[in-house]
Amino acid sequence: MKRTGKKQHNKSTLLFLLFIFSILLFSSPLQAQIEPGEKTQRKKDSVNRQISLGFFYGYGYVFPSDKFVEGDNEQHKIINRYQSFSARLLFQNAGKGEKAWYGTYDYPYLGVGICVSDFFDYKEMGIPIAIYGFINGPFHRWNKLAFNYEIDLGLMGNWHHFNPENNPYNIAIGAIRTVYIDLGVGLSYRFLPRWEAELDMGVAHFSNGSIKVPNWGLNTLSPRVEVRYHISKRQPFKKYKIIPFKKTTSLDFTIFGGVKNVVHLDSAEVNIQPDYQGVYFPIAGFRTTFNWHITHKSKFGLGMAMTYDGSTDAQIVVENNNMFLKNLPFSYGVRISIFPSYELVMGPFSLLFQPGFYLYRKKAPDQVPEFYQRIGFKYTLAHRVTFGVSLRAYRFQVSEFIEWSVGYQLNRTHQ
């Protein structure tokens, strides 16, 4: 499949992501007494259980990541404006204050929300709507003021996506549903006992992980203002001494799988049907990672992975306006890579960042770069079994495929 050249304007998205990771890693807003695997020792009135309502509005910028948003569209106009509206339900403590990780992160808000987005091109993009979960917590909290981070993850639908007959320009979004990811930092201020306002700056990514192509994706940068109403009056937070962390090491074994869609949209020889199904290829693999859990928040590790990508184990041949597969030897689909690993740990949940380098692979047409990036989420059940979903990308902005994984880890605690 031919690939359209893509400008490197989205490096600021990566820098913003690394900025949030670094502050979370080195900040110290720890206000709870922590012991891994045990409940935080605290008085019953240390944090009141609070429910809040929030509403935000954002207006920002769309990065020029492909020729569609750069002006190759029906309006022949650059798509560089973006606005969003969201209503949210926030929980603070909500029975989770006794968990060690929750105190480690200084009692953040957890919640769910619905977000409506507008790219000022209704005919070709629609008005997409997302349902998402989020965490909003402080890097540091003062009396009424707090410096916060936020991580949103959800599913977005209602797109006017690519269709070769009636929406042929929109190569950014190829499916009616995408993943919605938003990362932000901001300042909040409690101006009345039950009212709080926050001004933040966030970067958002919209993509389906190449489950359906075309899928160049969209990236935005947006300042937002939110007003929150606390249904119950907040009580003062109590501070506690931190119990020293017991370092652990683990050896993780993971199997993963997924699919990858390939369509020759730019071939004049292919009779593209309205549903533009293309060809689906299997993705499968195995990886093992050795991790050092060195603080309450952070795991560092090194790993190796073997991946089978069916799209490089076959060639698409065009005959009589139709596409056929020509199989190549199995070895063409095999890739072996190594990667450093970082996990931002939030109790049983982890946010993963694993940049990788291919050590072995056969040469194939339209090959992706040797350096790739994996970002994802993992849930650990009973300190042993793990479930996860990750996005593998290259050039920090192009989605290659989504990995669904299950694993098992062997742990050792060091005194």
| 285-295 pLDDT per residue, tens | 999 999 999 98
Which 3 state secondary structure label does DSSP give 122?
Answer: helix
Q: Would you call the peptide bond into 108 cis, given omega within 30 degrees of 0 as the criterion?
A: no
Q: Within a domain: residue 1?
A: no
Position with higher pLDDT, 382 vs 14: 382
Q: What Cα–Cα distance (Å) separates residue 43 from each residue in 47, 48, 103, 238?
A: 9, 11, 13, 9
Q: Within a domain: residue 216?
A: yes
Q: Within a domain: residue 237?
A: no
Q: Do residues 229 and 391 touch, judged by C-beta distance below 8 A?
A: no
Looking at the chain, the number of H-run helices and the number of E-run strands are 3, 18
Model pLDDT, residue 42: 43
Q: How far apart are alpha carbons 250 and 198 in whole angstroms?
A: 39
Model pLDDT, residue 263: 73
Residues 209 and 274 in one domain: no
Residues 207 and 69 in one domain: yes
Q: Within a domain: residue 3?
A: no
Q: How confident is the model at residue 325 (pLDDT cuts 50, 70, 90)?
A: low
Model pLDDT, residue 237: 66
Checking if the pLDDT of 7 tops 50, the result is no
| Prediction pTM value | 0.80
Model pLDDT, residue 413: 86
Q: How confident is the model at residue 30 (pLDDT cuts 50, 70, 90)?
A: very low
Among the listed ranges 82-86, 275-279, 308-312, 340-344, which one has the minimum average pLDDT value?
275-279
Model pLDDT, residue 29: 42
* 230, 257, 277 - which closes a domain: 230
Average pLDDT, the chain: 83
Among the listed ranges 98-107, 250-259, 341-350, which one has the minimum average pLDDT value?
98-107
Residues 220 and 122 in one domain: yes
Among the listed ranges 124-138, 241-255, 257-271, 382-396, which one has the minimum average pLDDT value?
257-271
Checking if the pLDDT of 37 tops 50, the result is no
Q: How far apart are alpha carbons 53 and 214 in whole angstroms?
A: 37
Q: Within a domain: residue 286?
A: yes
Model pLDDT, residue 319: 59
Q: Within a domain: residue 243?
A: no
In the numeric block, the tokens 């409506």 are attached to: 116
| Domain CATH code at residue 89 | 2.40.160.20
Model pLDDT, residue 268: 44
Considering just the CA atoms, what is the radius of gyration of the chain in Å? 23
Number of domains in the chain: 2
Residues 130 and 209 in one domain: yes
Buried b / exposed e over 18-56, threshold 16 CB at 10 Å, is eebbeebeebebbbbbbebeeebebeeebbbebebebeb
Checking if the pLDDT of 98 tops 60, the result is no
Spatial CB neighbours of 407, under 8 Å, sequence gap ≥ 6: 252, 253, 254, 255, 385, 386, 387, 388
* 201, 230, 259 - which closes a domain: 230
Residues 218 and 302 in one domain: no
Residue 365 is part of which domain span? 248-413
Residues 157 and 277 in one domain: no
Residues 142 and 264 in one domain: no
Q: How confident is the model at residue 65 (pLDDT cuts 50, 70, 90)?
A: confident
* 230, 265, 290 - which closes a domain: 230
Average pLDDT over residues 367-382: 91
Q: How confident is the model at residue 83 (pLDDT cuts 50, 70, 90)?
A: very high
Residues 52 and 192 in one domain: yes
Among the listed ranges 97-101, 152-156, 169-173, which one has the minimum average pLDDT value?
97-101
Q: How far apart are alpha carbons 72 and 77 in whole angstroms?
A: 7
Average pLDDT over residues 70-98: 86
- As given in the structure block, the two tokens for residue 254 are 């993971």
Q: Within a domain: residue 235?
A: no
Residues 264 and 390 in one domain: yes
Model pLDDT, residue 165: 86
Position with higher pLDDT, 394 vs 27: 394
Residues 169 and 261 in one domain: no
Could you tell me whether strands 279-293 and 50-62 are parallel, antiparallel, or unpaired per DSSP bridges? unpaired
Among the listed ranges 31-40, 110-119, 243-252, 352-361, which one has the minimum average pLDDT value?
31-40
Checking if the pLDDT of 82 tops 90, the result is yes
Residues 215 and 313 in one domain: no
Residues 381 and 255 in one domain: yes
